[in-house]
Amino acid sequence: MKRFVYINDDSFQDSFCDNRISNRKYTILNFLPKNLLEQFSRFMNQYFLLIACLQLWPLITPVNPASTWGPLIFIFSVSSSKEAWDDYNRYLSDKKANEKKVWVVKEGIRNQIEAQDIHVGKIVWLRENDEVPCDLVLIGTSDPQGICFVETAALDGETDLKTRVIPSACVGLASEQLHKIKGVIECPNPDNDIRRFDSNMRLFPPFLDNDICPLTINNTLLQSCYLRNTDWACGVAVYTGNETKLGMSRGIAEPKLTAVDAMIDKLTGAIFLFQLVVVVVLGFAGNIWKDTEARKQWYVMYPIEGPWYELLVIPLRFELLCSIMIPISIKVSLDLVKTIYAKFIEWDEEMFDQDTNTPAHAANTAISEDLGQVEYILTDKTGTLTENSMVFRRCCISGIFYGNENGDALKDAALLNAISNNVPDVIRFLTVMTICNTVIPVKSIGGAMMYKALSQDEYALVNAASQLHMVLISKSGNFLQVNFRGVALQYEILDILEFTSDRKRMSVVVKDCQTEKIILLSKGADEAILPHASVAGQQLRPFIDAVEQYALLGLRTLCFGWRELDEGEYIEWSRMFKEANSTLTDREWKLAEVCQKLEHHIEILGVAAIEDRLQDGVPETIETLRKSGINFWMLTGDKQSTAIQIALSCNFISSEPRGQLLFLNGRTEDEVFRSLEMVLRTMKITSSEPKEIAFVVDGVALEIILKQFKVSFTELATLSRTAICCRVTPSQKAQLVELLKSCDYRTLAIGDGGNDVRMIQQADIGVGISGREGLQAARAADYSIGKFRFLKRLILVHGRYSYNRTAFLSQYSFYKSLLLCFIQILFSLFSGVSGSSLFNSVSLMAYNVFYTSIPVLTCFLDKDLSEKTVMQNPQILAYCQAGRILNPTTFAGWFGRSAYHALVVFLVTMHAYAGEKSEIEEVSMVALSGCIWLQALVVTLEMNSFTILQHIAIWGNFLAFYVINSIVSTIPRLGMYTIMFRLFRQSSYWVTMILILAIGMGPVLAIKYFRYTYKPNIINILQHQERSGGPVYAMGIGNLESQLRPMDSDLSSLSVTQSKSRNTVHEPLLSDSPTATRRSVGPSTFEFFPSAQSRLSSTSTYNRNFKNN
């Protein structure tokens, strides 16, 4: 599909939308229904709404409906207010953009209008530093050659200025003519591809006689870019409003479900089923008691004949009574603390990059705990592990090596002498370095020459050439000027054969204005240049050796080629190139086919080697994270040998004899199958050995594998801790992430460039580095950091703390709700199984929303170990990776604790007040007081560290309970009149509280003391060492591997990457066996929603993960 845009013609402007931008989700009229629909799309909210509606039936509700409606309305109000505030801010941002004043041409005159009134076909006039209000096709600039500079940082994050040029059809038109220009632009329907605009333009006479002029992305100014270093520019609006490329790119990313959230959903389902069982059993028992005993009691006053729904009354009453089993406040509590986790990341001064003044940023506030459960890190190489700051180091020209002795070709006397003597091959080599690129030379105010480049490779080459006296002076239209040792040389650029990830090379066709010769200059990867060299008699072996030698040094290599063209050959080819460049469908493919017809019989001039230094701290970061049990995969577009050398230098892999590399290569299905089979067999045989084994695969073999042998490769992936994937495309990176996710591994992808975006978005956690390639990766990621080394702190400190805190908060939320529910059930057994409530509505509401929620929310400050200890002992991350703190067994512990505490509170209270003539409200307040006392002690006991804020929250909330209820006791009509004052005067009340604490917490304290003293885990040992003031690593705990190895021989092979086909036994309550893992699929009461994709069998063990580190 395509659209026709008629230039400067108002009669067609209503065919397309105006330029009004709208990013709002709601309007005033649809906010309430739409927001409520979104909120009630969640099962938990639907459940609470059902409960609240049932409580409106007076016959069945045991408490005042306000006990559920109050918290429900409060929670929904908080969520709705946040949505409304966010949407209001989006409205203000849209309003500011829509009402911005812009200049347009109307009837040959420039007028100022609001940006929202721009229509397709209008001519928009921009001045320097103006923001582009919509997508424009550039038709004129203040530069005589039709060039302008734009800053695209808001679009793609790239800070370097880019050059945009007017179409050839508009060259030479004066500004007065631009006011009256007429024509049509044939372009595709709106899309979000900011790197492609395959269109055509035809200007109507008298401007041009209907000749078709091809348009590319270089002829456009896209919305949100800024005009720089250009006095003015004008363009035709082709896409407006939400149909611009930026507008089409906007969208709401799919929410990511963390492992903790998935486990909470399973536990909620388990509790719901348990609740149904309780309701059915107690409802059945209640109906039996009613028919056998209740009618005999005169005070009950049951009618002889009840309505048809009488049998449902008691079960529904118990349903309402037990509804608090699922805590209504858990979602709001988790959302709140997760937001605080994200702020901690952004406030972390140790993750602030001083070089670029870039702080860490958390774009996704909902997945911080997943950072503590990462098992695979898939990383890009260039700009992620390296600085992406390229420096020209060595070269090989006509078989002669330069720079090998001192490591710097710029200081090589032999090369400098060759330049002084005008050696032809050396001069041609420098010419390709200088001309074959997209670099823009700019003179600074002081007169110094500066270069603006889209690629760090190109910048390094042009800058090196200038130091070797071949200086790029200017680019003006299709002409460029080079100064070589004081002599001005001029070249005309006839055509540019642009670089693509498929071609892996770039070429330019130029005319040497000195000799009138037409020359093809090419540069690219060795596999993209050397196969096209077929000049008679030329030996390629020196160049192949140079590529291999430089790759072994970890240097990036580019091959340079040169070919003189016959004028007739060029004219014929130029016709085909122009035809391919004018097509609207498959333009890129057709251009590549035409380029292939010219890029042959190339004379190889030489090989350039560029150094890309490792970032500071990369080896230490990788080594530390590998010790924590995290597996690493490197996904790079570089050649195999270069990637291997970088991997060795950054501790990604180990050299022989400690490490071993297995190569997975091949060009046909049979070759790849045999190679894969051999690598897989070797991996299985050596899996029990202490040697570190990694496999290396290239892009060609990987493409065949992902299509034909995906199952076998998946098995290989589960066996290997390390992989190096070379020459991979962006889509292959995303496919590899998806493959590991299909095995139920938690994946983290990290990169810095636009080619990493798909991988980052596909992973469970995406991390972008704010690098020299722009901010595309950082903007698409869940987290952005300035340097790779910050990843260590992001995972070990923030990820681990977030997981521990979230696990405690979620389980405690269930515990406090179950505690009160079990007391209600026990009371029903003593009240004729009637479903009556022991507690009044106000107490129930206050208990859930205030008395027990505020203290636990301070868990976001809790630290079981100091940051220093965590960083020095990365192995302890294994406890988080295995899901040991939140799993069905740990939840069973909290479930049992709530049942035991409920039994203690109820029996002690009833026994203490059984012989006294007490009101039900008085007994209720005693039981509620016992719960509050237990809650305060439980939170205190489970916290590992304390700040003044935590003390205020816990003990201030404890005192607030008594203050609030004392005030309520002074109000006669509330039903609690004088109750608290009577209880204060009773010694039995205080004795009851002490007994509840002693009986309830005594066994818990005893078990914890026994475990901490006689069966401590690694965490307990480190905590003891911290408190004793001694060293907190290495000494006292011995080898971590031996500490983690269970005493029983049958539990000797814990694996973070454990096979799902095994039956894993979850750790018992208050036990610290590291065999607990969240991947258990064995029979379990709580595994109601097992993953649809079971893990392939894996033989790697946790013990192996810690060897040789």
Cα–Cα distance for residue pair 430/609, rounded to 1 Å: 14
| φ, ψ dihedrals at 539, nearest 5° | -90, 125
How does DSSP assign 620-644, residue by residue?
A: HHHHHHHHTT-EEEEE-SS-HHHHH
Element (H, E) at 556: strand 556-565
Is-contact 884 1074, C-beta < 8 A? yes
> Which residue of the set 130, 198, 380, 744 is catalytic?
380
Is 380 one of the catalytic residues? Answer: yes
Tell me the C-alpha distance between 772 and 530, whole Å: 29
Omega within 30 of 0 (cis) for the link into 855: no
| Chain-centre distance for alpha carbon 206 | 54
The amino acid at residue 552 is L
* Residues 900, 918: Cα–Cα separation, whole Å: 25
In whole angstroms, what is the distance from residue 519 CA to residue 510 CA? 5
Residue 202 parent element (H or E): strand 199-203
Contacts of 784 (CB under 8 A, 6+ apart): 358, 360, 361, 363, 767, 768, 769, 770, 775, 777, 778
User: Are 641 and 729 in contact, with CB atoms under 8 Å apart?
Assistant: no
CA dist., res. 74 & res. 64, Å (int): 16
Q: Are 1055 and 896 in contact (CB under 8 A)?
A: no
Helix residue ranges, H only, 492-583: 526-529, 541-552, 567-581
Contact yes or no for 1077/1060 (Cβ under 8 A): no
| Strand arrangement, sheet containing 556-565 | 400-402, 386-397, 603-614, 556-565, 518-524, 505-512, 487-497, 479-484, 470-476
Dist CA 109 CA 119 (whole Å): 16
**Residue 605: C-alpha distances to residues 80, 399, 426 (Å):** 66, 9, 8
Q: How many CB atoms lie within 10 A of CB 751?
A: 33
Helix or strand holding residue 1008 (H, E) = helix 987-1014
What span, in angstroms and rounded, lies between the C-alpha atoms of 631 and 646?
17
Which among 666, 667, 653 has a CA at the least distance from the CA of 720? 653
Helices 920-942 and 987-1014 meet at what angle, rounded to 10? Answer: 30
Which two structure tokens, joined as six digits, stand for 827? 């009371």
Residue closest to 577 by CA, chosen among 534, 520, 626, 525:
520
Catalytic center residues: 380
